[in-house]
Amino acid sequence: MDTQWLNREELATWVRLLAVVELLPGKLDTQLRRDAQLTHFDYYVLAMLSEAPEHTLRMTALADRTAATLARLSHVVQRLESRGLVERFPCPQDKRATNARLTDAGWAKVQEAAPGHVATARQLVIDALTPEQIAQLHEIADALLDRLDPNGARVALHRRYD
């Protein structure tokens, strides 16, 4: 198979995309650790639970929403549970499954952390772009997600705010 090498413009774009993908999570993590004593992934787990009916999801559904392995998610939920932010219990419909639910303290933590997280996302990404670039980024993200999730398994998650 012949390799179709990237031309200069493609390579320059690719390197910039990788830099964003590598730098952005660390910046989000730093702000959340400083202001809310949460990692970015902790916050993401809490946020997904906060959006669920009755603030409750099966662990498998929560793993899907956060794109985490069950092992990683279980470790994070255990840590959040020890802080009183989440509780786990057997699923009433299927005793083999486990549910995770946001506690009142977890809901308060999400509400406390959200303004700083949104301000950071706005400062680092949204405010750096024009309205036209926001629309372009939306289209670019959709095109990439079509390749990364070709079966559409996560499309409802990606488009839930459309």
Q: Per residue in 113-147, pLDDT tens? A: 999 999 999 999 999 999 999 999 999 999 999 99
Please give the CATH topology (third level) of the domain spanning 23-127: Arc Repressor Mutant, subunit A (1.10.10)
Residue 50: closest CA among 95, 4, 117, 1: 117
pTM tops 0.85: yes
Residue 161 binned pLDDT confidence (cut-offs 50, 70, 90): confident
Every domain of the chain and the residues it spans: 23-127, 129-162
pLDDT given at position 156: 80
Residue 15 binned pLDDT confidence (cut-offs 50, 70, 90): very high
Contact present, 109 and 46 (Cβ < 8 Å): yes
pLDDT given at position 162: 87
Residue 28: is its pLDDT beyond 90? yes
Residue 154 binned pLDDT confidence (cut-offs 50, 70, 90): confident
| 157: Cβ contacts below 8 Å, ≥ 6 apart | 64, 65
Q: Across the chain, what does the average pLDDT equal?
A: 95
pLDDT given at position 121: 97
Residue 86: closest CA among 105, 58, 60, 61: 105
Residue 99: is its pLDDT beyond 90? yes
pLDDT given at position 153: 82
| 45: Cβ contacts below 8 Å, ≥ 6 apart | 62, 66, 73, 76, 77, 80, 86
Residue 39 binned pLDDT confidence (cut-offs 50, 70, 90): very high
pLDDT given at position 155: 82
